[in-house]
Amino acid sequence: MRLDPSIVREIASEAGFDLVRFGPADPGEDADRFAAWLDSGRHGEMDYLARNADRIRDPARFAPGARSTIALAYDYSTPQATSVRGGGKVARYARGRDYHRFLGKATRRIRGELERAGAPVGSIKVGTDAVPILERALSLRAGIGFLAKSAGIIHPALGPYLLLSELVTPFELPWDEASPGSCGTCTRCLDACPTGAITAPFEVDARRCLSYTTIELRGSIPRELREPQGDWLFGCDVCLEVCPFTSKSTAQERPELATHPALERFPLVGILELGEEDWNEHWVGTAMRRATRSGLRRNAAVVLGNLRDERATPALCRALDDEDAIVREHAAWALGRIAPRTPELARRLGIEQEPRVVDELRASLARR
């Protein structure tokens, strides 16, 4: 069966996507680059990438008989990033509903329409950031945009704020040409990255990237990365904000990305003290759940420490007795920056059993 490209584009546009392109179902040379990236350890604790490396490199394992990719992109260049009350910035894509849900639903809707048009049921596989395929590589080969030095994708007109989704199909489709454009001599993203995570053009060490340390990392944020985190509570948009192509894009309001009620309900200190009940009641449906409650509270402690707002001292002192050692550790670090003379640090040191927390308490006391 051959799919009518014009019908596919019409269905995808009606589903809310801004770009629809067709390309091969083969990631090309990016498969080997991905393997080398894994071998270097730059994926950090994202062990699922290493476990599924062979499947990720070979789309035929994800979609047997794969021939063509329908690559989709959603422009999320909303007018501005969102900050919670009291400080703490949230990456633009996470300000509203979880895109994994609403884009996944939209992509599955396209698949359903194609099946109703005659495509065999089950022949088309859907990917929206949580499946074992090289989404960026497939999108680049389909002409969604060109490779940015930040390792993302830039569309010459829409800019770098793009969310990707794909349908991997067994059908022959007329492949689009590669997107024109390049970063040229620009190095703004490399120069602006607060942690030096963009180690060279087109190369990112996830272990240093705030989008990894504030979301994917389940343990302690390395000390040397806490101050550079600044006031980023969840994710980071710096490399996108400084990109010259951002100024060429037209910001738009997206109903799906309207500020989530939880971001308006909870101030930064409230996130530090976020309980399980509130987490499960108010934060459902937001991408910020990917950080876990522990991770988000950890991030809040770091941001409070960087903001150096003495009004946060009582909450940070209470956090020294939290049942979560990760929260205790980062609260101790924050107090070392805000109130190293508080007697609560010495009190907690006298009873603390977790070695990492003990080390942090001692380091903060040494700042007196």
Residues labelled as active-site residues: 129
DSSP bridge pairs for 68: 24, 169
The helix (H) or strand (E) run that includes residue 73 is strand 68-75
Contact 319, 272 (CB under 8 A): yes
Tokens of 335: 């107090």
**What radius of gyration do the chain's Cα atoms show?**
22
Contact 30, 88 (CB under 8 A): no
Cα–Cα dist 187/86, whole Å: 32
Contact 156, 181 (CB under 8 A): yes
Which of 153, 162, 140, 20 lies closest to 92, judged by CA? 162
DSSP bridge pairs for 74: 163
The helix (H) or strand (E) run that includes residue 203 is strand 203-204
